[in-house]
Amino acid sequence: MDAWPVPPEGDTPALGDALARFLRAHRRVAVLTGAGVSTASGIPDYRDADGQWKHSRPVMYEDFRRHAQVRRRYWARSLVGWEYFRRALPNPAHAALASLEDAGHLRGLVTQNVDRLHQQAGHREVLDLHGRLDRVVCMGCGDVSAREDMQLRLQAANPGFTGTADVTRPDGDAELTPGHDHEHFEVPACTRCGGDLKPAVVFFGEGVPRAWVSQAMADVDSAKALLVVGSSLMVFSGFRFVRHAARSGKPVAILGLGRTRADELASLRLSGDCGHVLHAALAAL
Main-chain dihedrals φ then ψ at residue 229, nearest 5 degrees: -130, 120
Pairing of strands 268-270, 252-255: parallel
Given 105, 123, 130, 279, the catalytic residue: 130
Pairing of strands 165-168, 174-176: antiparallel
Identify whether 130 is a catalytic site residue.
yes
Pairing of strands 106-111, 144-146: unpaired
DSSP 83-132: HHHTT----HHHHHHHHHHHTT-EEEEEES--S-HHHHTT--SEEETTEE
Pairwise CA distance, residues 56 & 170, whole Å = 13
Main-chain dihedrals φ then ψ at residue 237, nearest 5 degrees: -60, -30
How far is residue 50 from each of residues 40, 54, 233, 234, 268, measured CA to CA in Å?
19, 10, 12, 10, 19
Q: What is the 3-state secondary structure (H, E, C) of 141-201?
A: CCCEEEHHHHHHHHHHHCCCCCCCEEEECCCCCEEECCCCCCCCCCCCCCCCCCCCEEEEE
Which element (helix H / strand E) includes 139?
none
Q: Characterise 233 by phi-psi region: left (phi > 0), alpha (psi -120 to 50), beta (else).
A: left
Pairwise CA distance, residues 30 & 34, whole Å = 14
Active-site residues, by number, are 130
